[in-house]
Amino acid sequence: MGYVGDSFVLLVRWDAEGQVQSFSIHQYGSATLDENSPHYADQSPLFVKRQLKPVWFDEADIRANPKREYRPGEELNP
């Protein structure tokens, strides 16, 4: 059991047809120092339950699962 430090887990699986699936977890979410960030500890509940979240690998999955979409240089509104 660890008592200090950081942890990141990434699993990648290829099936016989070459399809890729990937899952990850980081116990602190984005590990930001901003306690007001929605990502400050957003993955902690998953980490405690020993669950992983999907890593979107191809464009179709990425486009099907956005939290928001923007173009570089545009004003970001959280």
Residue 12: the pLDDT is: 94
Q: Does the residue 78 lie in any domain?
A: no
Residue 28: the pLDDT is: 72
Q: Does the residue 71 lie in any domain?
A: no
Residue 64: the pLDDT is: 95
Q: Does the residue 75 lie in any domain?
A: no
Q: How many domains does the chain have?
A: 1
Low-confidence ranges of the chain (pLDDT < 50): none
Task: Tell me the pTM.
Answer: 0.68
Residue 2: the pLDDT is: 58
Among residues 4, 18, 8, the alpha carbon closest in space to that of 53 is found at 8
Domain range for 41 is: 8-64
Q: Does the residue 41 lie in any domain?
A: yes
Residue 70: the pLDDT is: 82
Residue 55: the pLDDT is: 93
Torsion-angle region of 46 (φ positive above 0: left; ψ -120 to 50: alpha; else: beta): alpha
Residue 73: the pLDDT is: 84
Token digits of residue 45: 């509940």
